[in-house]
Amino acid sequence: MEGLDPRAFVLGCSAIGAGLAMIAGIGPGIGQGFAAGKGAEAVGRQPEARGTITSTMLLGCAVAESTGIYGLVVAMILLFANPLVGKIAG
């Protein structure tokens, strides 16, 4: 790999890694949509339990959303505060 700048290589691989980390946003979207649908079904079957169902659903959605936020944080670290660039010898 002669002529390949190590800094450019690390930055390119970091950009690919950031893109892969953002794929983590797909899971929370699907999970939250599924939870909201099931919550609506449950409220339709038992309207008197609406408060309990809604609070449980919102707690589950918050936990699921944290996965997407972690993926976003990893992607931003790789793009803007890349710790690997400082480790390049040369």
Report the percentage of the chain scoring pLDDT > 90.
36
Instruction: Give this prediction's pTM.
Output: 0.72
Domain boundaries, the chain: 31-82
What's the CATH number for 31-82?
A: 1.20.20.10
Compute the distance between CA of residue 51 and CA of residue 27 in angstroms, rounded to an integer.
26
Report the alpha-carbon distance of residue 35 to residue 21 in Å, rounded.
23
Q: Phi, psi at residue 84, to the nearest 5°? A: -80, -25
Query: Residue 63 has which token pair?
Result: 């936990």
74-83 average pLDDT score: 89
- pLDDT-derived band at 62, boundaries 50, 70, 90: confident
Per-residue pLDDT, 5: 85
Token couple for 10: 């690390």
Average pLDDT over residues 33-47: 91
pLDDT at residue 31 in the model: 85
